[in-house]
Amino acid sequence: MLAVTSAFTSGAALVAPTAHASRASVQMGIIDGVKNLLGKKQDFLEAEPYWDQSTIPVNTYKNKAPFTGKIVSTKRIVGPEATGETCDIVIGHEGKMPYWEGQSYGVIPPGTNPKNGKPNSVRLYSIASSRYGDDMTGTTTTLCVRRATYWCPELKADDPAKKGVCSNYLCDSKPGDDVKLTGPSGKVMLIPEKDPNVDLIMVATGTGIAPYRSFIRRLFVEKTPFGEAYTKGTGQAWLFLGVANSDALLYDDEWQEVLKKYPDNFRLDYALSREQKNKDGGKMYIQDKVAEYSDEIFSKMDNGAHMYFCGLKGMMPGITEMLEGVCKDKGLVWEDKLSEWKKAGQWHVEVY
């Protein structure tokens, strides 16, 4: 019912049920209202001009005074053969906790830390929806959360005493549950929206996909000012995602839709470690897939592209070694080149 309720508040014309209205006419009214909402331009949460980052919200809610949101939905989004469970979790914030693409929310799980008896500490999660939320009302946010478990070789089973406190809390949450939120935080992963022709190279492992989903929805799914400018320009958003197998792919149906509609502006490469081989015959990890395009990526970066990394920090050494090799072949010093990219704000890293 959230989208329907939000449609009322957004001014969409819905048919209110009356004593004489048939169920069919009410349903048609609801459908028409939602269509009106989805067809509207998404511009009510934009800066002026839209690329101005000076008004970005930061730390609206802090650890000592968090915001209490409500779980709207929790759903598993990986197949049966995936390694582990990943959930898409939508949280309602009533429009009181606005954020921008590339930012994170903090979540404070209930209970206390058994090690010190103090309340559980905040955990950060990259936001996986645009600032408008998946229902495009500006009142929800989406998190992409992998359930953290620990396999005990002695028990030959998951050890519940060592499971991730916050990830399990979120993956077990039900619609209507309260959730304490802090933030939004972070400016490292923002999109440089002033240039509608900028190339964006997005590298992710697993749930590191979250910020890029927020980017891609803003660029290609919703009718935003930047999206309209970008799809008319020459910029290319290039997504690399590394997971174990096809069942572990995240939001693949969304990427395929964008590929169909915007083949010139969007590009997609997967690294499936248990299904693909790298050039040496070993497992295909994200750094191996990125390495296949090393010269092209280097060229794009030298032409002003922005490169983003989100996910496991283990991917970084392989990627930097690869780019270092390209530098060497070109007679350049890698440290100098990296420093140049960082100084220009082209290098964005948020790994854990």
Question: Binding residue per annotation — 274?
Answer: yes
Cα 110 from Cα 346, distance rounded (Å):
38
CB atoms within 10 A of CB 247: 15
Question: Binding residue per annotation — 92?
Answer: no
Cα 88 from Cα 144, distance rounded (Å):
5
CB atoms within 10 A of CB 284: 19
Question: Binding residue per annotation — 312?
Answer: yes
Question: Binding residue per annotation — 76?
Answer: no
Close Cβ partners of 256 (under 8 Å, ≥ 6 residues apart) = none
* Catalytic member of 25, 81, 321, 352: 352
* Catalytic member of 6, 10, 126, 185: 126
Question: Binding residue per annotation — 126?
Answer: yes
Is the four-CA dihedral 24, 30, 33, 35 of positive or negative sign? negative
Q: If you ran DSSP here, which 8-state letter would residue 267 be given?
A: E
Question: Binding residue per annotation — 218?
Answer: no
Residue 185: strand pairing partners = 104
Q: Is 125 a catalytic residue?
A: yes
* Catalytic member of 125, 132, 230, 308: 125
Structure tokens at 77: 């989004």
* Catalytic member of 87, 144, 166, 310: 310
Q: Is 126 a catalytic residue?
A: yes
| 163 burial via Cβ count (<10 Å: 0-12, 13-18, 19+) | middle
Q: Is 350 a catalytic residue?
A: yes
Question: Binding residue per annotation — 130?
Answer: no
Q: Is 352 a catalytic residue?
A: yes
CA–chain centroid gap for 57, Å, is 18
- Residues annotated catalytic, as ranges: 125-126, 310, 350, 352
Annotated binding residues, written as ranges, equal 126, 146, 207, 273-274, 283, 311-312, 350
Residues annotated in a binding site for NADP(+): 126, 146, 207, 273-274, 283, 311-312, 350
